[in-house]
Amino acid sequence: MPDETEPRLLTREVTLESLVDVRHEVERCAAREGLADLALYRFVVAVNELTTNAVRHGGGRGQLILWRSGDRLHCRVTDRGPGPPAHRQLRRPGADAHGGRGLWLAHHGVERLTVDDAGVTASARLI
């Protein structure tokens, strides 16, 4: 979470109806902060996976906070769902799996993905 010296760039409640708008807002914000090209694309895809998971598995809604800390951009997504199992590994699901790709995809799209009891944080370096 951002501390008091790190202003929030974007704070939004996420619902099924707002997923597309939130994705576009995250993209504009991240681009304004300096993410570009493939890094921007990967960050936006990762955040979109996190927000979609929040809506799908977290009771139909979630909360997104985007902030900058030094040369890194962070996005925290929280919801009221149970969260992934504590022992869950971020491994690529099998081809016949009916889910489980969201966190895996997000993990591979950002510099760091942190999953804890309160939510998920995706971080990317602004180069």
Q: What are the DSSP calls for 32-44, one per residue?
A: HTT--HHHHHHHH
Instruction: Give percent of the chain with pLDDT exceeding 70.
Output: 81
pLDDT in tens, 78-88: 888 776 655 55
Q: Are 26 and 47 in contact (CB under 8 A)?
A: yes
DSSP codes, 17-70: GGHHHHHHHHHHHHHHTT--HHHHHHHHHHHHHHHHHHHHHTTSEEEEEEEEET
pLDDT of residue 40: 94
pLDDT value, residue 99: 63
- Give per-residue pLDDT as tens, 57-109: 888 999 999 999 888 899 999 888 776 655 555 666 666 766 666 777 787 78
